[in-house]
């Protein structure tokens, strides 16, 4: 019997390289595919000049690292360009959401439209039986397709995979989903991989570790306005309400004696950013939300109990969900949650099982709409 062929997303990091090791150990025929999703020439400062640190493109460094990992492991590495697809399907959506004063999650859309769609189509055109990624998540193929959290709770990436379809998951392997990060690095060391000690990437993929606000200004020039307290006192100026996130503390330019300042909401009609001192402001809390763009992976339902995550790093919150229509869910969380933000993802779980996810649309405390947009 011939070996099953797997095309692996080899990114130049330790996780995908160790995923290759696991696949080879399991007897698969493995080839790597490096994705180029962003044109680094677009990373300019506010005057349109290239960033000083871009003299060597980080993507090119990653590609060279992936090439060396492939050489060490004895597998082929191909390269594919999805720059146009990323711009059309992910970055355009990202900008549109910011124009609406919402806070989008481009990584979720990138997984849905690029890594598990464009990549999958390319891989199957190359004769793949499966694709594989170095994500900390698990997929169960039998008796039915199910998505589960990764075993390492500090690295679990199931939140970012909530918009994948069962069809996409049925063709996907996550070789390191049952490992902890320390085990991944140890296995990389044993195989003398060049990326064994490489730092994990951080930040939004097309921005990296640059100043997020300065990057956005190149694409979304906005109007300055007042920062006001809930009592209407003007305490400062903002650079455009779209550049700020609910619950944000840093980068407000407000000081003085007392507790730190936080973003509490936005009055878009008046172009006012609402701020207040202290992290435990009542206005930041909610106990009900409307979730749209639902992708449901579990069996159909009308109402059920579960847990929900409103942010990648947030804790699970006990909730009850009720189906409004095929695209919309109402979620109640009596224990309340802080800074549940429109545009971000809500992901629902039953233990380790991912039930589905969608986009936070409106947020309430009882019947009162929170001033988040």
Kindly give, in sequence order, each residue whose CB lies less than 8 Å from that of residue 227, ignoring residues fewer than 6 positions away.
Answer: 234, 235, 236, 237, 238, 252, 254, 272, 273, 274, 275
162 is annotated as an active-site residue: no
Do 51 and 132 have their domain in common?
A: yes
Query: CB–CB of 37/205 below 8 Å?
Result: yes
Query: Which 3 state secondary structure label does DSSP give 350?
Result: strand
Do 300 and 347 have their domain in common?
A: yes
- Other CB atoms within 10 A of residue 115 CB: 24
- In this prediction, residue 16 carries a pLDDT of 97
Q: How far apart are CA 165 and CA 154, in angstroms?
A: 24
Do 329 and 270 have their domain in common?
A: no
State both tokens at 127: 């004769």
CATH code: domain of residue 322:
2.40.30.10
Diameter over CA atoms, the chain: 75
Among the candidates 277, 307, 334, a domain finishes at: 277
Which residue's structure tokens are 């970012």?
Answer: 160
Query: CB–CB of 148/109 below 8 Å?
Result: no
Q: How far apart are CA 358 and CA 166, in angstroms?
A: 15
- In this prediction, residue 181 carries a pLDDT of 97
Below-50 pLDDT ranges, the chain: 44-55
Query: CB–CB of 367/287 below 8 Å?
Result: no
Kindly give, in sequence order, each residue whose CB lies less than 8 Å from that of residue 229, ignoring residues fewer than 6 positions away.
Answer: 235, 274, 275, 276
Active site residue: 57, 118, 162, 205, which one?
205
Range of the domain at 246: 230-277
110 is annotated as an active-site residue: yes
- In this prediction, residue 124 carries a pLDDT of 98
Do 258 and 341 have their domain in common?
A: no
In a domain, residue 207? The reply is no
Domain count, the chain: 3
Do 78 and 140 have their domain in common?
A: yes
Do 175 and 266 have their domain in common?
A: no
Do 107 and 12 have their domain in common?
A: yes
In a domain, residue 206? The reply is no
Do 152 and 271 have their domain in common?
A: no
In a domain, residue 76? The reply is yes
Query: CB–CB of 27/71 below 8 Å?
Result: no
In a domain, residue 181? The reply is yes
Do 261 and 316 have their domain in common?
A: no
In a domain, residue 198? The reply is no
Among the candidates 136, 158, 190, a domain finishes at: 190
In a domain, residue 202? The reply is no
State both tokens at 200: 């994990």
Among the candidates 190, 207, 239, a domain finishes at: 190
Do 26 and 149 have their domain in common?
A: yes
Give the DSSP letter string of 144-187: S-EEEE-S-TTT--GGGGTT--HHHHHTEE-TTTTS-HHHHHHH
Do 20 and 156 have their domain in common?
A: yes
The phi and psi torsions of 261 (rounded to 5 degrees) equal -90, 145
Query: Which 3 state secondary structure label does DSSP give 318?
Result: strand
CATH code: domain of residue 271:
2.30.30.280
According to DSSP, the β-strands at 303-309 and 317-325 are antiparallel
In a domain, residue 157? The reply is yes
Query: CB–CB of 343/352 below 8 Å?
Result: no
In a domain, residue 218? The reply is no
Do 47 and 167 have their domain in common?
A: yes
State both tokens at 292: 């749209």
Active site residue: 110, 118, 162, 373, which one?
110
- In this prediction, residue 42 carries a pLDDT of 58
């Amino acid at each position: 019997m011939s070996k099953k062929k797997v095309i692996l997303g080899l990114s130049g990091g330790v996780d995908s390289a160790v995923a290759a090791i696991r696949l080879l150990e399991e007897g698969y025929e493995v080839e790597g595919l490096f994705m180029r999703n962003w044109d680094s020439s677009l990373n300019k400062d506010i005057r349109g000049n290239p960033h000083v640190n871009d003299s060597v493109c980080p993507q090119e460094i990653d590609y060279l690292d992936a090439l060396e990992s492939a050489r060490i492991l004895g597998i082929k590495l191909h390269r594919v360009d999805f720059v146009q697809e990323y711009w059309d399907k992910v970055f355009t959506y990202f900008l549109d959401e910011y124009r609406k004063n919402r806070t989008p999650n481009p990584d979720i859309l990138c997984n849905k439209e690029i890594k598990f769609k464009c990549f999958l189509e390319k891989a199957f055109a190359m004769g793949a039986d499966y694709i594989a990624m170095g994500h900390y998540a698990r997929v169960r193929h039998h008796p039915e397709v199910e998505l589960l959290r990764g075993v390492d709770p500090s690295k679990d990436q199931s939140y970012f995979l909530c918009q994948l379809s069962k069809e996409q998951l049925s063709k996907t392997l996550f070789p390191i989903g049952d490992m902890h990060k320390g085990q991944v690095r140890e296995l990389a060391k044993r195989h003398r991989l060049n990326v064994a000690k490489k730092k994990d990437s951080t930040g939004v993929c097309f921005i990296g570790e640059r100043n997020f606000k300065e990057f956005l200004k190149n694409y979304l020039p906005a109007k300055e306005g007042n920062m006001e307290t809930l009592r209407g006192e003007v305490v400062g100026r903002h650079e455009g309400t779209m550049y700020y996130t609910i619950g944000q503390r840093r980068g407000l330019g407000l000081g003085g004696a007392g507790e730190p300042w936080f973003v509490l909401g936005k009055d878009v009609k008046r172009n006012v950013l609402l701020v207040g001192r202290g992290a435990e402001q009542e206005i930041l809390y909610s106990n009900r939300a409307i979730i749209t763009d639902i992708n449901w992976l579990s069996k159909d339902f009308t109402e059920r109990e579960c847990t929900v995550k409103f942010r990648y790093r947030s804790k699970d919150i006990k909730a009850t969900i009720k189906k409004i229509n095929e695209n919309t869910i109402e979620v109640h969380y009596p224990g309340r949650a802080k800074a549940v933000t429109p545009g971000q993802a809500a992901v629902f779980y039953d233990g380790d099982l991912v039930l589905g996810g969608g986009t936070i649309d409106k947020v309430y405390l009882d019947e009162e709409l929170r001033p988040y947009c």
